[in-house]
Amino acid sequence: MIKAGIVGGAGYTGGELIRLLQMHGDCELSFVHSRSHAGKPLSSVHDDLFGDNDLTFSNSIDTDVDVLFLALGHGESRAFLDNTAVSPNTHVIDLSRDFRLEGEPFSFVYGLPEANADAIRKARNVANPGCFATAIQLALLPVAGVNLLPDEVHVTAITGSTGAGQKATATNHFTWRHGNVSVYKPFVHQHLEEITKSLRGLQPAWRGALHFIPMRGPYTRGILASVYFRFDDGLEEARELYNAFYKHAPFVWISSVNPNLKQVVNTNKCLLHIGKYGDMLHVVSVIDNLVKGAAGQAVQNMNLMFGLEEAAGLALRALAY
């Protein structure tokens, strides 16, 4: 059994990790740390866990577990590792953006399994990708993999309110979010750097522009990304390219019809739909931002790191209605 601990277990991502790890047949959840809720039952924050376990939030951290998940705020993970003596035998999976661009001095590997599985299997520490970054990269990796990514790529993507975290803000307040849609951080979203770095890992000569317009949606969870770019080959060639690239990827599926969020919410799946319109290839990518975009992908990375089946513990049913 893999002995696991979670640091920062009170947020949305921490809650998803708890749910997934307690169902995982090869994993034992040793502790869930939270400074603000220490001593309280997990169900006092994540009330859907009532009756599932008798764990309470811990004020102490066992740094000698097999795997330590850091579900902390951005900037907090690096500070935690700078000030905490983690056993050299412990693997760390960080869900913040602290190590996505620069893994040193802690030797983090970027954890997008569909692009980096071999390195993840050998890694001590993994930096989990961002949610928007996951959806967008999965739409583009097959093209970058054959050096066909053009000079300009256009993306519009919309996310649910959980993407903003659990802390109350003006833009995730129910009365503001409900029945409302808005653009934020156009062309400057923080996930652009990791997307660009990952694409250049497959297509080193690419120096093109990724034009990204993120949007807030009037719903709780899920990301839909609409991606389009110039592609000179035909639709069938594109489909063959995507099917070949994801042939061994257990969670990426090419759909013959336009997908919707309800097909992926509560799952670790990414559904892609490909269309050709004139000289433009259009790719729709849908994921659950809290599962494939965060906690589910972290468990997928754990599976790879410990030599388990990549899909272990992630056979989840979509909340289709």
Q: Is 27 a catalytic residue?
A: no
From 7, 68, 131, 148, the catalytic residue: 131
Q: 3-state DSSP call for residue 134?
A: helix
- C-alpha of 114 from chain center: 12
For 242, the enclosing helix (H) or strand (E) is: helix 235-245
- Amino acid, single-letter form, for residue 63: T
| Beta-strand relationship, 182-183 and 252-255 | unpaired
Q: 3-state DSSP call for residue 100?
A: coil
Task: Judge whether 56 and 40 are in contact, CB under 8 Å.
Answer: yes
Site of tokens 């979509």: 318
Q: 3-state DSSP call for residue 215?
A: strand
Rg (CA), the chain: 19
Task: Judge whether 93 and 71 are in contact, CB under 8 Å.
Answer: no
- Is 200 exposed, middle or buried (CB count within 10 Å of its CB: 0-12, 13-18, 19+)? middle
Both tokens of residue 140?
A: 């583009």
Both tokens of residue 236?
A: 């069938």
Catalytic residue annotation: 131
